[in-house]
Amino acid sequence: MENKRVATLTLDDGRSIELPIMSGTLGPDVIDIHNLSKLGVFTYDPAFFSTASCISEITFIDGDAGLLYYRGYPIEQLAEQSDFLEVCHLLLEGQLPSAAQKADFVRKVTSHTMVHDQMARFFNGFRRDAHPMAVMVGVVGALSAFYHDSLDINDPEHRDLAAMRLLGKVPTIAAMAYKYHGGYPFMYPKNKFSYVENFMYMMFATPAEEYVPNPVLVRALERIFILHADHEQNASTSTVRLAGSSGANPFACISSGIAALWGPAHGGANEAALKMLEEIGDVSRVTEYVQGVKDKKYRLMGFGHRVYKNMDPRASVMRDTCHEVLCELGLENNKLFKLAMELEKVALSDPYFIERKLYPNVDFYSGIVLRALGIPTNMFTVIFAVGRTIGWISQWNEMLDADDRKIGRPRQLYVGAKRRDYVPVDKRDA
């Protein structure tokens, strides 16, 4: 990057400073403000919407154009042509693997699908009705208590081992959380299956019957994982980076990401969209509901995005996947799907939504797909976490390799009391 251009900031007292302007390969320029404190001032940017917190090579988003690239590859191409572990290699290593590299990567991940036997008993510490995300936060964080040989973040071999363990074990833990919540026996991984097949086996198989994966349903879940694998510096990813900046172990960092993802404004969006469709209830109420949205009576979930001001590039892939799954399962006349299609049609033809660029996003369709796959609503965010684990690992790894790595330390605008002197309790005014 060249830092030949500068922006000059001049304060009202005449003091000024030149701030380098940095350019990436794609996206807007960035003003480097790290020397701004020399003037005794900070910037104020709630939620960091106008602040680049890091330099990254992993994911690029252009919300206005509706673009999402992983390492330069459009998400649509990867979702249609690739598979999840190949995408994992791309995000983690920076390149699509050769055939030999892919085979080696798959072998490494597959060799770590089992969890320590004591972890099965660890689940008994949770109530049966505990939310699966609560279990995920606890159990993934607890991996650091079981795998002491991969905690040195300054050792590349430790980091690689931790990455493989997380990729291999998080789906196993997620399936165990589902089984535990429902009172079903744990199903241990079968490494003859592919990554996604194995996850579905651990979720849906029972000791009483043979399980045969349905390739259409497997492909649908694979696409969900690919579409959710990374999404630049979102809340959970930023949480992982901030936790990692302190030198925390990888398992603790990924657990912190899961905790951040649990928030309904982040990972719970597809659940909210599905609940909205259930509340509408019938196609005949769509027009009424749309008018209610305009009147601020109802909230339209699954439309619009904080980043994408155009069509969410993941949504069209998910829409096609929705059709494929429902057709495969004989659910073409599924009530929720027909309702969703009618809502989509009405909203996209209404000037109110067009002017506000409220297009369907990935969450609008993914909830229907997950429901059709037999995944309960309380597991939706867990599925998100399984897919996003590779993004968190890749971002964490990149953060540790950064030349300018420092512990995260945001500043504040203090508006509390000025200095006050302590007054003994018997001398204070009532």
Task: For residue 259, give every residue at least 6 positions away whose Cβ sits within 8 Å of its Cβ, in sequence order, or none.
Answer: 137, 239
Domain extents in the chain: 6-52
Closest CA to 360 of 375, 340, 374: 340
User: HSE-up of 390 (CA within 13 Å, CB side)?
Assistant: 26
Q: Which of 363, 401, 403, 421 is catalytic?
A: 363
Q: If one looks up domain 6-52 in CATH, what number appears?
A: 2.20.28.60
- CA 408/CA 248 separation, integer angstroms: 12
pTM of the model: 0.92
Tens of pLDDT along the chain (430 residues)? 454 899 999 999 999 999 999 999 999 999 999 899 889 899 999 989 889 999 999 999 998 888 999 999 999 999 999 999 999 999 999 999 999 999 999 999 999 999 999 998 899 999 999 999 999 999 999 999 999 999 999 999 999 999 999 999 999 999 999 999 999 999 999 999 999 999 999 999 999 999 999 999 999 999 999 999 999 999 999 999 999 999 999 999 999 999 999 988 788 777 888 889 989 988 999 989 999 999 999 888 888 777 877 778 898 899 899 989 999 999 888 888 888 888 888 888 889 888 888 888 888 888 889 999 999 999 999 999 999 999 999 999 999 999 989 999 999 999 999 999 999 999 998 7
Distance (Å) of CA 98 to CA 86, 90, 103, 426: 10, 11, 9, 77
Enter the tokens of residue 102: 């892919």
Distance (Å) of CA 167 to CA 92, 99, 108: 11, 20, 10
DSSP secondary structure string for all residues of 257-301: HHHHHTSTTTTTHHHHHHHHHHHH-SGGGHHHHHHHHHTTSS--T
- CA 255/CA 31 separation, integer angstroms: 32
How many helices (H) and strands (E) in the chain? 17, 6
Kindly report the CA angle at 217 between 212 and 219, in degrees rounded to 5? 110
Query: Quick check: is 45 catalytic?
Result: no
- CA 274/CA 50 separation, integer angstroms: 31
Closest CA to 247 of 174, 178, 152: 152
Q: Which of 112, 228, 305, 312 is catalytic?
A: 305
Query: Quick check: is 149 catalytic?
Result: no
Amino acid at 272: A
How would you classify the pairing of strands 30-31 and 16-22? antiparallel
Helical ranges in 64-186 per DSSP H: 75-81, 84-93, 99-110, 117-122, 132-142, 156-182
